[in-house]
Each structure stands twice: as structure tokens, then as C-alpha cells.
Chains A and B, each alone.
Chain A
Amino acid sequence: MNEANLIKSSIKAGEIVVRNVTKNYGAAHFSKEVVKDCSFTIERGKLTVMIGPSGCGKSTIIRLLAGFEQPTSGTLELNGQPIEGPARDRLVLFQETALFPWMTTYDNILYGPRARGEVTKETLELAEFLLNKVGLRDFREKYPPQLSGGMQRRAELARAMINNPQVMILDEPFRGLDAMTKELMWEYYSALYEENRRTNFFVTTDIDEAIFLADRLLIMTNIPTQVRAVLEVDMPRPRKLADLVENDRSNEIKMEALSILHEEAMKSFSRGSKAAADFVDAYSKRMAKT
């Protein structure tokens, strides 16, 4: 298709380098360190997944990457240029939906081009193409509350893609979807990624989701967070859901990731975190089974 090529050729995959970033909240004595001396690279054209215990500071990293907030110290750079504020080159898909409820699917998708006064014939064609692409052509005049959870996520993907960002940042985007829709969205999203190989940064707490999607897996420590380990998920694409269970390599990576996460949970457990207690408990049961 013409538009498909058009998108593909226009994609400029970006690369983000995070160097020694620290982020504190609150003033003076009450200051809480959420991110501590954190460094990593979101490689060009790859799907980098960040996984870590909930409440560890992943969302803070997202706000820093998006430019909604500035780090207390350290630098974040996109293609060598410091990140100074929110911009269309780094678009965020938030937890749950952030579609504007007062706009139809179509108006939501066209939000970016209209905001920048860039509505051309090509943009409108691209909007049509994306509507088809995410399977929402029949829902173009519907408002977000009329869409299912999965449709909302797809509409939001289209709303981001029309702006042709260099990096797509996704903050636990499939949280809250039911198990079946979630798996469908994994397949849908990874196919979309494979098609255009944009730089993607995906944050999650779900280990299966992480391994199914990732090229590179960043495992985070508990709060104050930093990168604990980087695993290369060297499984061929396109991937199938069955691989998650049957593929030995996939299971190997999963075990490795889980044992690191377990160590992290044990540390915060000894510091009195209740959420960590749940994880430690679930992990030991799982290990007993295998």
C-alpha cells in the first residue's frame, strides 16, 4: 500500500541515552529519591522493555523521557540533543486511556496535526490509513467511552503514530485489559512494531508481556530505581504466543529475569514492603512447581 510505504520511509528512529539521572521529589529533609544514578540506552529501532517492581519509579522515568519533568541531576538526550520538554518526537501512551473523551476517534487521531496546523491532503489520507490499520474505520465517529478497552488502546496508538514520533513511549499500556484482549494486543502491537521498526520503549510489570515483546529487557531495582540488569531477548521475530510456553530460550530468559526480580523483591521485603511479600510468596510457589 502506498501509505504504508509512506509511513515506513518517513520514519526516523531515534535513540535516547540516559546518563546518571537522579530524580528527587520534595524539598530538603523530606526529599525522597525515586531514581538514583540511572543510566541506560534506548537503542535505535529496537523495542526496549523496562520491567521492575510496581512503585519502583518506572513512571517517573517515563515523565523524564517525555520531558514533563526535569531530572534533579544527570542528562537525557535524544539523538545527542538534550531533552528539554514535551515534544512530538517522543510520544507517550499512558496507563489506561488518555484519549480525549469529548472527541470522536477520528478527531482524536487528527489532534496532533490540527494542533500544529499541519492538516494536508496527505495527513487526511494517513488518518484514513491508520483508522483502517487499527481496525476502527467503523468507529470513526464514536466517542472513546463507546469503544472497548482494546479499541481505545489501538485508537491511541493511531493518535500517536500520525505524528510520526522518533520514539514511542508506552507506560503499562495494556494494564487493566482482560487476559484475552491483552494477549491479542501483544500480538497486534508487536506486529505493528515489526512492520515499521520504530524505536519503542515499553514499561511493564508483567514478565510474560516483557519477554514476548522485548528486543532488550531492562530489569530495574526497587526504589530508588536504577538498571539492575540488561537481558538481550534474542528470539526470532515474528513471535508467537505459544513460544512463551514452549520455547526453551524464552523460558531460560524468563527464569533469569524472575530470579533477578526475586532478589530485588527480597531486598525490599527485608525493608518492609508488603507488595514485595506477595511477590516472594508467589515466586517460591512457582519454583516449587518446576
Chain B
Amino acid sequence: MRNGKPPLIDSIYWRGAIAIVVFLLLWEMGSLSKVWIKWESFEWLRNTLTAMGFKPAYLPWVGAIPAPTEVLHAWQGVIRDPGYWQSWYMSLFRVMAGFIAAMLIGIPFGLLLAVSRTAHGVGFPVFEVLRPIPPLAWVPASIIFWPTQEMSIAFVTFLGAFYTIVINVVGGARAIDLRYFQAARSMGSSQRDIFWRIILPGTLPSIMVGSAVGMGITWEVVVAAEMISGGGSQIGGTSGGGLGFFIWNSYVGGSYEQIVVGMISIGIAGFLSSELLRWLGHRVTPWLRLR
């Protein structure tokens, strides 16, 4: 039937491509029809539901969303606007700043909690109390705490990734097989050697998982933070406040096509960041992809 591996990869690739095309087609049709899921097209269903006391007005309306072709058209216009690219840059910058800070602080902190009983006893309860607070609940406080708006947004994005990374690092380090430590100690490893050659590589897979999840949260947080805080628009001009602010601004301005442009841009940006992390993950944990 199949000879070799390449066809398998191809078929996955084609399935994905076809799914996206079909999705876009359905969306286009739904939009252009102007009636999809609007109740006029399903008279019998509407009558039944109304008889049950359900109000059709509660249902979403695909016909109200701009069609992909319209979005593409709007995109062509926006692409020449430096403000749009400025939004990309602002959001990417904030995500990366927060994310990298979360890695730099979260990985050592997580390892410390995993390695030292004292550190765990002192640090973990505080961490566990702060962790359930959603990053967005920090927005007002961080605007007050941090001198610039830029720093407050970066701080909130940092929080988004920080907790996930720490929890994964602690869990990963503690899940390392006890026999590895016993074998290492028998062969004469010092504590320091065990840390660098057993604990750190043994935790790397969990670090990568934590980072991937953290990266996703970072994008969620940055967009919401930009919408709430006005995206530092006083610095960057009306469209220089990041992709979250770009969407909000489009909404306020009544440009529905641009809202969708902003949404898809975030989708692409998030996808690219995840791919980058996946690539990085493969590089640093080569033994995992060989199973």
C-alpha cells in the first residue's frame, strides 16, 4: 500500500491544507449568504424552538461576519500601513520580553523548588497562593506598580508564562526516575554533577512542555492586556499599540474586516511562536523524537 514514510507526511499535510480550504469555503458561503444560521433559512426549526420558548435572537449569525475575501481585501490595504506592522512588532516584543523573562526566572526557580526541601517549604506555599490569580487580574495593579505602561504589560505577560513554566519544571524534576540518581551516585557523581547531568537534562522535556503552554497563555494575556490598557497608544499612535489594540481600535472604528485581520494575525503569530519553540525543543531534546 504505502512504501516508505514520505507519503504519510504528505497525507497529513494534504489533510490539513484541505481542512483549511473547506473551512474558508464554508465561511465564505456563510458570509455571502447573509442568512446562515439566521432564522429565516430554517423556518421549521425556528417554529419548533419558538414554540418551546426559545428566542431566535439569541443565536449567532455567520452572515454578519465579513467573508474571507473581504478580509483579504482589507488585509491588502492594511499591509501597506506601517502602523499594522508596528502592532505586530509591539505585541511580539511584549510576548518575547515576558516569555523570556519567565524562562530566565521560572526555570531556575522551579529547579530550586524541586531540588531544595527548604526552598520548597518556603517558596511553594506563596507561589501556590499567587498562582490562581489570573494574570489579567494583575493589570490594574501592575499599571500602578510599574513606572511605564510598557513594563506593566510585559509584567502581565511574564506572569502568564511564569506559573506554567515553574509548575512544569517542579513536576518534571520530581518525576525523574529514582534509579538514575542511584546509578549516578554509585558511579561517583557529586551533587553538582547530578544537577547538571541528571536533573537538568531530565527536566528539559518538561521545561519545553511548560514553555509551549506558557507561550500560548502569553499571547492570550498580551492581547487582553493591550485591549484593557489601551496598548500604550499614547506612545505608539492609534495603530501602534499591538495587535490586541489593533483589534479593539478596529472594533471602535467599525471596521469589522480589520477585526478579523487582527484575529488571524494573532493566530499566525501564535502559530509561528509555537513552531519556533517546537523546533527549539527538538534541538535540545534529541532523544525524545527517536522513540
CB within 8 Å of B: which of A50-86? Answer: 66-68, 85-86
Which residue from A94, A103, A163 sits with its C-beta under 8 Å from B187? A163
- Contacts A94-B179, A98-B179, A98-B180; A111 near B286 (Cβ below 8 A): no
A158-172 vs B, Cβ < 8 Å mask (1 yes, 0 no): 010001000000000
Q: Cα distance A168–B197 when bound, in Å? A: 24
With A and B bound together, what is the CA distance between A98 and B184 in angstroms? 10
Is chain A's binding surface mostly helix, strand, loop or mixed?
loop
B187-209 residues with Cβ-Cβ distance < 8 A to A are 187-190, 193, 197-198, 201-202, 204
> A102 contacts the other chain (Cβ, under 8 Å)?
yes
Instruction: Point out the residues of chain B lying under 8 angstroms from A115, CB to CB.
Output: 184, 187-190, 193, 197
Q: Tell me, yes or no, whether B234 is within 8 Å of chain A by CB.
A: no
Contact call A116/B188, Cβ cutoff below 8 A: yes
Cβ-neighbour of A100 out of B180, B190, B193 (below 8 A): B180
Q: Please, how many angstroms separate the alpha-carbon atoms of A116 and B188 in the complex?
A: 6
CB pair A94 B186 closer than 8 Å? no
Docked-complex contact A112 and B182, CB < 8 angstroms: no
Query: Is B187 touching A88 in the complex (CB atoms < 8 A)?
Result: yes
Of A67, A90, A91, A112, chain B has the most CB atoms within 10 Å of the CB of: A112
Which of the candidate stretches A6-14, A139-147, A209-217, A272-280 sits at the interface with the other chain?
A139-147
Q: What residues on B are CB-neighbors of A241 within 8 Å?
A: none
- Which residues from chain A contact B59 at a C-beta distance below 8 Å? none
Tell me the minimal C-beta distance from A278 to chain B in angstroms: 28
Let me know if A145 and B291 touch, CB within 8 A: yes
Q: How far is the CB of B205 from chain A (nearest CB, A)?
A: 9
Say whether, besides A101-B287, A143-B287, A143-B290, A94 and B184 are in contact (CB < 8 Å).
no
Q: Is B187 a contact of A112 with CB atoms below 8 Å?
A: yes
What separation, in Å, do the CA atoms of A87 and B189 have in the docked complex? 9
Interface check A130, CB cutoff 8 A: no
Q: How far is the CA of A87 from the CA of B186 in the complex (A)?
A: 4
| Contact across chains for A87 and B188 when beta carbons are under 8 A apart | yes
**How far, in angstroms, from A163 to B202 measured CA to CA in the complex?**
23
Nearest opposing residue in chain B for A66, CB measure: B186
A92 interface residue (CB < 8 Å to B):
yes
A121 vs chain B, min Cβ distance (A): 20
Are B182 and A66 interface neighbours, CB within 8 A?
yes
B residues with CB within 8 A of A:
177, 179-180, 182-190, 193, 197-198, 201-202, 204, 285-287, 290-291
Q: List 21 A-B contacts (CB under 8 A).
A: A66-B182, A66-B186, A85-B185, A86-B182, A86-B185, A86-B186, A88-B187, A88-B188, A90-B186, A91-B187, A92-B186, A98-B177, A100-B197, A100-B201, A102-B201, A111-B184, A112-B187, A143-B290, A144-B287, A163-B187, A163-B188
Give chain A's interface residues, CB within 8 Å of chain B: 66-68, 85-88, 90-92, 94, 98, 100-103, 111-112, 115-116, 142-146, 159, 163
8 pairs of A and B residues whose beta carbons are closest in the complex? A112-B187, A102-B201, A143-B287, A115-B189, A98-B179, A116-B188, A86-B186, A86-B185
